[in-house]
Amino acid sequence: NILLAAIDYLLTNPTEPIDQKALEENAGIGVTVTPEDIERVIEEVIAENKTKLLEQRYEFPIGTLLGEVRKRLKWADGKAVKNEMDVQVKQKTIH
């Protein structure tokens, strides 16, 4: 994933000298995503979609929410995101 992101950056920015800082940022080098970051972003995404989520319940495509979180937290661990999403969706849709 990091390697692909670095290659993509180099392909879209083929000029020299290479901006080392931009390359590293785009490849996720040194990026840390905390559990708190994941929790916060999932809360935001659920809040933005809460009406449809409550209306559609089990028919709501949770994958769209996961995709939105992945856009905002590109370097987050996918399993951690999925687990936190499951917990929060369950908590926020039971009532």
Dihedral of the alpha carbons of 34, 38, 39, 44, in degrees to the nearest 10: 140
What span, in angstroms and rounded, lies between the C-alpha atoms of 48 and 46? Answer: 5
pTM score, whole prediction = 0.76
Q: What share of the chain is helix, strand, coil (3-state, %, to 5)?
A: 75, 0, 25
pLDDT the model gives residue 95:
55
The residue-averaged pLDDT of 8-18 equals: 88
**Is 94's pLDDT higher than 80?**
no
| pLDDT higher at 38 or 59 | 38
- According to the model, what pLDDT value does residue 54 have? 87
Q: What is the mean pLDDT of residues 6-33?
A: 88
Q: What is the DSSP-derived secondary structure letter of residue 76?
A: S
pLDDT digits (tens, 9 = 90+) for 61-90: 999 999 999 999 999 999 999 999 999 998
DSSP H/E element including 72: helix 62-72
pLDDT, one tens digit per residue, over 27-46 is: 888 889 999 999 999 999 99
